[in-house]
Structure 1
Amino acid sequence: MLNTNKEHVVKWSVQGKIHHPIGGNYRISHDGKPMILPATGGISYNVSVGDSVFNWAGDHVEPGVSIRNENSSENAALMTFACIGNEAKIVSGDAKGKKGYVTGMHGGIDHVLIYFDEETLEDLAIDDKIMIKAYGQGLKLNNYENVHIMNIDPNLFEKLNIKEENGKLKVNVVGKVPAYLMGSGIGSKSAATDGDYDIMTADMEEIKRLGLDKLKFGDLVLLQDCDNTYGVGYLKGAVSIGVVVHSDCVKSGHGPGVTVIMTCKDDTLEGIIDENANIKNYMK
């Protein structure tokens, strides 16, 4: 098992409420078509972790439940300190007491995304409050100071089955994404606070050539030449690992969103292709 500072990472509470979907305006697709589609927010009853991120009649669709706070400072804390794999507990409404887990953070709309089973989803309502045991920010690898970890629960991190070999950390991923495909979210100030950034999918032939057309919500992917250490940008030789958190999009420069969980400025991180590298499988 990797040597971490897990025992010193603070576990505390953050909370949000199920956010009503907003908008309803036309979205212009990358090929110039005006479209009215379901998008972000609310409760997605038939879209869940483990489902394909493609072919939904929607845009930036978020699986499961989307929460936020209207107070911007409180929502910034929710977005920053909620981590993938954290326990989420419903604290109001008909489903009070039921538990799920965080599956990602979506920047721009600033939602934290949560998985609950189908029975629980049926008992939820807009504005129900959900508390998260925020645990993960500050997690470090004691023997790899060049590798930065963020946005992941330490208990889930340990389940990723990362192998050490000849000074490398081998991480199971479903695919590898070249830097030229990373779009919306580039230039964000911090991958630990700003949620995610998107794999551009306007060129579906290239997506298919790379085998990325099979991506699912919750898949782990490797981002080539992508440095997320102190911001979100390009650096030749850098490597980042992330989790796919929202669906494909119709807008130019957008596509499935990735929340980063590991990054380094060199090749210490190495991706091993595994079609089962999905948080749903690890959370079982």
Structure 2
Amino acid sequence: MIKTNKERLIKQSVQGKIHHPTSAPSPYRISHKGEPFVVPATGGITYNVRLGDAAFGWVGDHIEPGVSIKNDNAQENVALNTLACIGNEAKVVSGDAKGAKGFVTGMHGGIDHVLVYFKQEDLEKMAVDDKILIKAHGQGLSLPEVPEVMVMNIDPELFLKLGIEIRKNKIKIPVVAEVPPYLMGSGIGSSTSFNGDYDIMTADEAAVKSNGLDKLRFGDLVLLRDCDNTYGRGYLKGAVSIGVVIHSDCIKMGHGPGITTIMTCKESLIEGIISEKANIKNFLPIEE
């Protein structure tokens, strides 16, 4: 069993409402090829895109699977996006679906949404503005055996189910694929990785396919090579980060599937073990 400080972590309520999709005055989104499109994007309840589905191929932009929530108060929304962790329990506390339970699947920067999985039958009962409470638990998680590695944005119980091993002061973790640093785009340069995400750029289709990224699914674990997410997001030779795919591919330049970081180190102390089963869906009590 991996040693952690999980017994000392705080579990605290944070809350948001299902956020209506938004749009600029012009509905057009311009692709990296200069083509104008009018397509669905972030927000609302996305009924037919689920955890475990392909992150590519949708007629949309930055599609968020399941339910997208936000808090109307700006400071409270920062707390919601920072304290909520992937795998945390979520519960509907108003509306026709009151009492339904789900799980956090990611945090999406820019739009500042927390994304939540619920059963299909519960989605059908939900409405925009329904309130969802999350038992936030996980920030501050640490690994005494490898203190150089920083853990963030993940529920401690989920973290311990991912098949991680520590050998000779190095962490080995199953991942679906490795991402080279030159493909990481929108969100790079952010001042923190304790909320939000950043994108794998997908305009170069050949580079995406050659790295095996065209088959990514929502919830997949990926390794980000030479990517430092300790105190912001940037390039650092030898650094390694692990993240979860949280939103879909995008049509805009510099964008693509979003990655919320769950682990990072400035040194090469994290090693990925390629496994097609490395998806958070396989470690959560998901009901279809």
TM-score, length-scaled by structure 2? 0.97
Which residue of structure 1 aligns with residue 269 of structure 2? 268
Which residue of structure 1 aligns with residue 80 of structure 2? 78
Which residue of structure 2 aligns with residue 67 of structure 1? 69
Helix, strand or coil at the partner of 2:214: helix
> What CA deviation, in whole Å up to 9, does each residue of 1:142-196 have, x standing for no partner?
1111000000000000001101222211000000000000000000000003x00
Supply the distance in 2 between the matched residues of 1:205 and 1:117 (Cα, whole angstroms): 36
Helix, strand or coil at the partner of 1:76: helix
Q: Does 1:280 align with 2:281?
A: yes
In the TM superposition, 1:69-108 aligns within 5 A as: 69-108=71-110
Q: State the aligned residue count.
A: 283
Supply the distance in 1 between the matched residues of 2:228 and 2:54 (Cα, whole angstroms): 26
Gaps of 5+ in 1: none
CA RMSD of aligned residues (A): 0.6
Amino acid paired to 1:9: L
- Deviation of the 1:269 alpha carbon: 0.3
Helix, strand or coil at the partner of 1:65: strand
> What CA deviation, in whole Å up to 9, does each residue of 1:209-253 have, x standing for no partner?
111100000000000000000110000000000000000000000
> What CA deviation, in whole Å up to 9, does each residue of 1:28-49 have, x standing for no partner?
0000000011000000000010
Helix, strand or coil at the partner of 1:7: helix
Is the contact made by 2:225 and 2:241 (CA closer than 8 Å) also made in structure 1? yes
TM-score, length-scaled by structure 1? 0.99
Amino acid paired to 1:235: L
Which residue of structure 2 aligns with residue 229 of structure 1? 230
Amino acid paired to 1:253: G
Supply the distance in 2 between the matched residues of 1:144 and 1:164 (Cα, whole angstroms): 8
In the TM superposition, 1:20-39 aligns within 5 A as: 20-23=20-23, 25-39=27-41
Gaps of 5+ in 2: none
Which residue of structure 2 aligns with residue 13 of structure 1? 13
> What CA deviation, in whole Å up to 9, does each residue of 1:75-117 have, x standing for no partner?
0000000000000000000000010000000000000000001
Query: Which residue of 96, 108, 111 corresponds with 1:109?
Result: 111
Q: Which runs of 4+ in 1 moved over 3 A?
A: none
In the TM superposition, 1:89-238 aligns within 5 A as: 89-193=91-195, 195-238=196-239
Of all paired residues, the percent bearing the same amino acid is 67
Helix, strand or coil at the partner of 1:164: strand
Supply the distance in 2 between the matched residues of 1:161 and 1:11 (Cα, whole angstroms): 24
Supply the distance in 2 between the matched residues of 1:165 and 1:153 (Cα, whole angstroms): 23
Which residue of structure 1 aligns with residue 3 of structure 2? 3
- Deviation of the 1:11 alpha carbon: 0.2
Supply the distance in 1 between the matched residues of 2:93 and 2:144 (Cα, whole angstroms): 36
